[in-house]
Structure 1
């Protein structure tokens, strides 16, 4: 594949996001609808797919105390900047939150599950005293497919656009072999977005280590290293920094992150374990950037088949990318890179997603630990064999099997997870 096509894939899939992408996407739809409906808000109606509800139900929103679908839609309609994409909630104030809560208290915000087969679907209707606007986002967190004003469509787009389809075609052509060779040869100066992902995500990782966020998973690991209860090694370094980033993000930190494939937690889990290992090994900055690029691209490759949302935790795919990158940092071969991915698939492929929340930091920690473990096994020429589970001799076939499990094999699991969450 041409060099520029892989760079275009990075440009599409590495996006700066403020806050968890599911409530942010709801806010983006609401802000866009309000932009096209002048006047005073009379009602906000939000309908979302089960996977969106699952991830928007309990997670923190940057700088706010409110949570949930209704609050995400209300704050987006009241104060969101629709021109800022996934940074739509930048600059919120306490007054904005009060106005959003007032709308909810007055019964002007209604939220429900949409009847749709899509796993990523958001529909928001904003009714004012003058106009009515309806916005639909589907398949991708910032992919607006319809804007309708007073019943008349004024925009249809998104995934139907030929440019989007051509990039999807480029995803289909990617392989681990090609990604590895590209990462070795690309000019590091062209990996500006990868460098930015390191810088942004490291800031929120350090914030999680120094602050008090969520379950303090990363901070607790670091404190136990200082006490001598845990060893100061590659695995704990990867776990603590990555989990701390997730701690801060899930608890509503106002720091942005570089998302990977539509998920900020995936962006954190793709970058920070690799950064922690690179710093521990004291490798050059260029080598660290190439390693993180490898991690990003392998995760993008897997997620392009796996889909944006699933009953399985997306951070597992990030762990697969990170394991490959850690092998690269330790001067492993392409074959060992593939073995690390295979080992990770065989280890964490069954981890379910029960929504975005503080506990996600524990899953980030687990997958970071597995990434290091899988890499070290691979470097010792140990890999899960094709006689075991659904692992194949060919890493691409193992990836396909994992993605089939996530897409086709867990639809009933998805329904049960949401049912159990909503019954509480």
Structure 2
């Protein structure tokens, strides 16, 4: 068993970060802010290219501070008010005067955003031209990962791969999770020093605050609000599953509506963070745990999510919140239930069997419905496994061992659903044109 404590702590610090607003339009705003800073003057001409996955995810989502939806208003705010040093919180604290200026910029019809001709999941390229200067930036692989910066033809940063023909299984692109096992993750998490991971508790507070917004006010579709009403009327019980659904959906309702508050993200997504954290919070509210145990369970949830995302891709045709993050939460809850490695593995295999068909059709108010299903599934599958209720043999794409199961899920998502993603985007574009 490898000792990966330091590597996992570094991964948690890199992948569990505060974010304000949906991370796809936020990444575009971040890129625009950086490009404007490099330019150092008013933007006269602009060209913006984003990967089809970012284009899809940013099309219909609310943006903090404004009632507008989508990528153009996010880009406009990035140009007008963005500070790239704020990272994925680049939209936080924008004043109403700045919002008004950004809306005017958007309404002027001079912003050019197009899908890039790329198979990369996370790709943003911005080109700005001013009266005296030009600037270009690129983000690749992760939502806040700048790989290229240029001003007036002078390259300031270039950390892009020189050869795009390098395959994923070569040493040049090998990741820590390529050879990982779930047992290895569990054992390393159990050995982590609490002082190194207690920052994960901040995510509980952030995401609970967002949930309270969605439960106190009917925002978006009002999924969490509606579940709370049904609880109060005695139609459904205030049990762990319904509580997990309520908290997670309520937070998504508020976030997708554009509430200007941070959440703790996971693996580049705020909704992943909600799903990876809040079902565990619902469990702990019913069965209190020490902060150390909660943080270790959160670490397991985030790292299991990262393990799955390593194979399914950063963005995909599968709903990452409903598949990867919910499966991570399943592992975390099973661990809090004192299940051993075999039973946690069974819970994860249950989750893959349960959730693997959930598609991603972009960030929007309806995500709250998917997150409610994901949260319920996380608790249910952990409970089933606790009593030994999981498949002991091959079961569809679910293999006899959990690690092969996760890799099978990755094959279906990364290689099998590329055309699905294209069709989803085509359908969404057709509906937007019709409206």
Identify the TM-score tier after normalising by the shorter chain.
over 0.9
Greater CA drift, 1-10 or 76-85: 1-10
1:406 aligns with 2:413: yes
**TM-score w.r.t. structure 2 length?**
0.93
Residue of structure 1 aligned with 2:359, choices 333, 352, 362: 352
Q: CA deviation at 1:384?
A: 2.4
Specify the alignment match of 1:321 in structure 2.
328
Alignment of 1:15-414 (within 5 A): 15-157=17-159, 169-315=175-321, 316-414=323-421
Aligned length: 420
Tell me: CA distance 1:166–1:180, structure 2 relative to 1, closer, same or farther (3 Å): farther
Unaligned 5+ segments in structure 2 are 163-170
CA distance, structure 1, for counterparts of residue 23 and residue 336 of structure 2: 30
CA distance, structure 1, for counterparts of residue 388 and residue 77 of structure 2: 52
Q: CA deviation at 1:44?
A: 2.6
Tell me: CA distance 1:187–1:241, structure 2 relative to 1, closer, same or farther (3 Å): same
Contact 1:54 1:418 survives alignment (8 Å): yes
CA distance, structure 1, for counterparts of residue 379 and residue 173 of structure 2: 31
Greater CA drift, 240-249 or 34-43: 34-43
CA distance, structure 2, for counterparts of residue 292 and residue 412 of structure 1: 34
CA distance, structure 1, for counterparts of residue 173 and residue 138 of structure 2: 22
CA distance, structure 2, for counterparts of residue 357 and residue 281 of structure 1: 33
Contact 2:311 2:409 survives alignment (8 Å): no
CA distance, structure 2, for counterparts of residue 340 and residue 112 of structure 1: 41
CA distance, structure 2, for counterparts of residue 383 and residue 331 of structure 1: 17
**TM-score w.r.t. structure 1 length?**
0.95
Specify the alignment match of 2:165 in structure 1.
none
Contact 1:46 1:69 survives alignment (8 Å): no
Contact 2:5 2:189 survives alignment (8 Å): no
Q: CA deviation at 1:107?
A: 2.9
Q: CA RMSD in A?
A: 1.7
CA distance, structure 2, for counterparts of residue 158 and residue 66 of structure 1: 34
Secondary structure of the structure 2 residue equivalent to 1:135: strand
Contact 1:183 1:290 survives alignment (8 Å): yes
Tell me: CA distance 1:304–1:202, structure 2 relative to 1, closer, same or farther (3 Å): same
Residue of structure 1 aligned with 2:16, choices 2, 14, 17: 14
Unaligned 5+ segments in structure 1 are none
